[in-house]
Structure 1
Amino acid sequence: MVPVSMEANCNTCHATGQIAANNPAMTWTSNDDPDVQAQQDSLGKSEVQAQKNVLILHDKQHDTNLQNQTPVLCASCHYSPALDLTGEGAKGMQKSLPTSSQVMHKTHGELRDAEGNPIIPTGVHVEKNCYQCHPGKTTQCQRGAMKTVGLECTACHGGLLAVGGKFPLLEGGSIDGTNDGGTRRPWVDLPRCQSCHTGDAVSHLKGEGLEFYTDGIRLAQAYKTGDDSASPLLAKNKRFAENENTLFRNSKGHGGIACEGCHGSTHAIWPHADANANDNLTAIQLQGHSGTIIECDTCHAPGSLEMTIDGPHGMHNVNDPRWTDHKHRNYYMLDPNACKACHGKQLEGTPLSKVAVTRTHRVEDRTVTLKKGQQVSCDLCHDKDDL
């Protein structure tokens, strides 16, 4: 979830004299307005001025009288699930009007300058579009692993028009299938983990329109290129999928543990690039290093588990010496693809097999050190021909 706060910069466009408040035929809020003067700093003055100008503009365009009905809660007319804590749904006038998300995203997405270019463009740095309304320049609501690799909000959510529901969702685009072909529902029809993490090295989505990350396994975009609705993709291989018809934030995985319990929250997936960031503290305190909670000993008594490949997402026991001796060969002989899923079709190693923290193992009477981030291939310890 990404909140909206006073960090939003409505004044960029709506302060008097700016692009959304410069019509000479209209009377805009002046610097002498008492509410503006009551603010302690220039940012506060500019923001209050912008807020009042928004009401002036709304009254002009929609024949309302909001200027004389302050304070105005936009969601009183334009339904917002974020403020509907009891989950009762739209009421009264809300039922006949677009949702808050729709009017904000779609309206601003349709705006064009004199040359016909979008006022708020897509394909630019997040500070030039999403962060105009969502907090991020200071609070950094988007952070963690996705931010580290340079993914922008649009890689998962699509542009303003997609989020605003201008285009009907494709098959599988709604969270539960009941709204396929309909208008995207805010806070409900959202991107999913499986939209980019579509499987493993053996089985994952393929085809036209898919934007693959550099590893050729994961996607760098949660929808197909050319899909104006940015409908989230559904994976056939459910290795990394959420619970059926459920968003990540509400899903549970191994042992009934919330997915967020091991991975962090939606927009702050572990690890954070800054080793000293607060986001990393939970993992460090629980397992001794940052990143996804991956150590079995975090929850299970050391040595209490049998050798298994039934861990989270089909993982084997982590940092267990039994997996570095000859016993793991038996698992490979029984089901080679179970190993290849993470270690690669040629057992060459993939990002799914990378080491979470530097480890040292005794293998065949010698010491093997695997460095943090190294992708584990079979030939790090022995010849592939031995398999």
Structure 2
Amino acid sequence: MLKRKLSLLVILIFALTFVVGYTSFASAAVTTGISGTVKDIDTGAAIAGATITDGTTTVTTNAQGIYSLSKSAGSYTLKISASGYLTTWQTCTVTSGAVTTVNWSLTKAYGTQTPPAYAQNMRNIIFAWNDLGMHCDQDDYSYFCVLPPYNTLHVQVINRPNLLTSGITVSYNFPKKTNSTLHTNFWQYSAQYGWNVPTNTGISGTQLAGTMKLDSNGKGFVAEGIPITPYDDDGTWDPYGTANITVTDSNNNVLQTASVVAPVSTEMNCNNCHGNATVNPQLDILQKHDSHNGTTLAADQAQGKVHLCSECHSDNALGKPGVAGVESLSLAMHNFHKDKMTYTPAAANVTPSCYNCHPGTNTQCLRGIMEKAGKSCTDCHGDMNGMTTSLQNGRQAWLQEPKCVTCHDSKHTENTNTLYRNSIMNNSLASDMNGKFYCEACHNSTHGEFVSANSADPTIPQKFQGDNYWIWNCKVCHQQNYTQRNFHN
């Protein structure tokens, strides 16, 4: 009997040991700390055996890709590594008595492959990108104007391995978009909105084809305010229209060419809530604005007088100061609509809900690597209540935006008081790269960061690197025998 009891006791101890050992590994055991899952960014398959560490504590994922890390309240920088995948980092904050979820989507390691044979012998390289990843436009300007046709392209030219900013001419054109007047009535009303510019000329004086200017930093070339529409000349809806870039020397010899998308969309789905079969959505907007604010916008429009929204609502995108005491355009839009995204079935069924106003369910503005990793608009920007609160607390729309360093670590931080789209690399192990290249030159523009889900985006890495990833291969810019290095510390 004693032996039997002892045997049962041993079994019980073993079982308890197993349960304790298992639950200490599983996320359910963590009451204060960090937990999450690790997956392959392309396949979505769980990655077992990945190592996550904050520098003091290290854990590994189980067969389901799950990990848990018991930590006290505080801020942490986590590093993850897994065989065959790129090492990466995320930051997080742990609150006492709560578990912070930090999920990972890992990208396969690239190896040490060289660019395509045709690219290895190129003396000159072009980096080209659109500044925002998506610009908004309107199909009709006969009622009001939120934003004019406006797109911006940037280019950096490399004479391997040096940045080239003089002695060359950088030109651009849109083969399929040569006449924007075919698809917008903007210039019929542009003078009323305060822009007395010729047809097919943007509000900054930039045309549909021309020569790019040296940018304000003297490190690249820019064409700002190109007035393209999301329609080709033949009427095809093409929100990811392609620009051709040509670099010539002082003797007009072509040094290099490339193509790059200039995204623009009119897919602002106001009709999900405004208008009906007999009422134009834009007229409905004016009428509701009048009803709520005592304005006379609809009556003005009926008499042929149209208004720019930023006449009253300040708008940093256009540099318009608005009227003192009136909410900024961004605050007014988010504040008024924050509780109205479920008013109609059409609006409620839009995912993400941001696509009710921002382009859009067909355009798919959010298409970069964050989207591939399962992130949504609200992961970076917050929901409409969060957007409203941040603006009410003093955040300046367009001038103060989400930062890479908020989720990643200091190795991937923007320049001080500078947006990602204007930041320049300054933390490379290769000192000869610091202070030269824009972050977007290698990673692409906001919302379309490589690896992009849209096949129209990666024309630059495809041509000069031979894949769809961000510019990771040192040999794109340097000589063939250049040692492969991690660009960031």
Whether contact under 8 Å (2:350, 2:361) holds in the other structure is no
The 3 A distance-change label for structure 1 pair 167 and 265 is closer
1:83 aligned to 2:215?
A: no
**Structure 1 equivalent of residue 105 of structure 2:** none
Aligned match of 1:136 in 354, 357, 360? Answer: 360
| Secondary structure, counterpart of 1:54 in structure 2 | helix
1:98 aligned to 2:322?
A: no
What count of residue pairs does the alignment treat as equivalent?
215
**Which amino acid letter does the alignment assign opposite residue 293 of structure 1?**
I
Gaps of 5+ in 1: 17-29, 32-45, 113-117, 169-181, 199-237, 315-387
1:55 aligned to 2:286?
A: yes
Q: Matches of 1:100 and 1:167 in 2, distance apart?
A: 11
**Structure 1 equivalent of residue 442 of structure 2:** 262
**Structure 2 equivalent of residue 245 of structure 1:** 417
Q: Deviations over 1:339-381 (max 9, x none)?
A: xxxxxxxxxxxxxxxxxxxxxxxxxxxxxxxxxxxxxxxxxxx
**Which amino acid letter does the alignment assign opposite residue 389 of structure 2?**
G
**Which amino acid letter does the alignment assign opposite residue 312 of structure 1?**
F
Q: Which has the higher helix share?
A: 1
Q: Matches of 2:351 and 2:414 in 1, distance apart?
A: 30
Aligned match of 1:161 in 382, 385, 390? Answer: 385
Q: Matches of 1:186 and 1:56 in 2, distance apart?
A: 26
Whether contact under 8 Å (1:286, 1:298) holds in the other structure is yes
The alpha carbon displacement at 1:283 in A equals: 0.6
The alpha carbon displacement at 1:268 in A equals: 0.4
The alpha carbon displacement at 1:106 in A equals: 1.1
Q: Deviations over 1:287-326 (max 9, x none)?
A: 1222011111111112256x8x6x5212xxxxxxxxxxxx
1:168-247 pair list within 5 angstroms: 182-198=393-409, 238-247=410-419
Whether contact under 8 Å (2:461, 2:470) holds in the other structure is yes
Q: Which has the higher strand share?
A: 2
Whether contact under 8 Å (1:125, 1:152) holds in the other structure is no
Q: Matches of 2:468 and 2:415 in 1, distance apart?
A: 25
Q: Matches of 1:120 and 1:266 in 2, distance apart?
A: 30
Q: Matches of 1:125 and 1:280 in 2, distance apart?
A: 31
| Secondary structure, counterpart of 2:285 in structure 1 | helix
Whether contact under 8 Å (1:120, 1:128) holds in the other structure is no
The alpha carbon displacement at 1:166 in A equals: 5.6
Q: Matches of 2:482 and 2:373 in 1, distance apart?
A: 37
Identity %: 33
**Structure 2 equivalent of residue 4 of structure 1:** 136
Q: Deviations over 1:37-83 (max 9, x none)?
A: xxxxxxxxx6xx11111111111111111112222321211111122
The alpha carbon displacement at 1:96 in A equals: 2.1
TM-score (norm 2): 0.41
The 3 A distance-change label for structure 1 pair 303 and 126 is farther
The alpha carbon displacement at 1:245 in A equals: 1.4
The 3 A distance-change label for structure 1 pair 263 and 126 is farther
TM-score (norm 1): 0.51
Q: RMSD value over aligned CA atoms?
A: 2.6
Gaps of 5+ in 2: 1-131, 138-265, 426-432
1:294-309 pair list within 5 angstroms: 294-304=472-482
**Which amino acid letter does the alignment assign opposite residue 398 of structure 2?**
W
Whether contact under 8 Å (1:120, 1:129) holds in the other structure is no
Q: Matches of 2:470 and 2:457 in 1, distance apart?
A: 11
Whether contact under 8 Å (2:458, 2:469) holds in the other structure is yes
Whether contact under 8 Å (1:109, 1:120) holds in the other structure is no
Q: Matches of 2:416 and 2:466 in 1, distance apart?
A: 32
**Structure 1 equivalent of residue 308 of structure 2:** 73
Q: Matches of 2:437 and 2:459 in 1, distance apart?
A: 19
The alpha carbon displacement at 1:125 in A equals: 8.0
The alpha carbon displacement at 1:183 in A equals: 2.1
The 3 A distance-change label for structure 1 pair 13 and 273 is closer
| Secondary structure, counterpart of 2:472 in structure 1 | coil
**Which amino acid letter does the alignment assign opposite residue 402 of structure 2?**
P
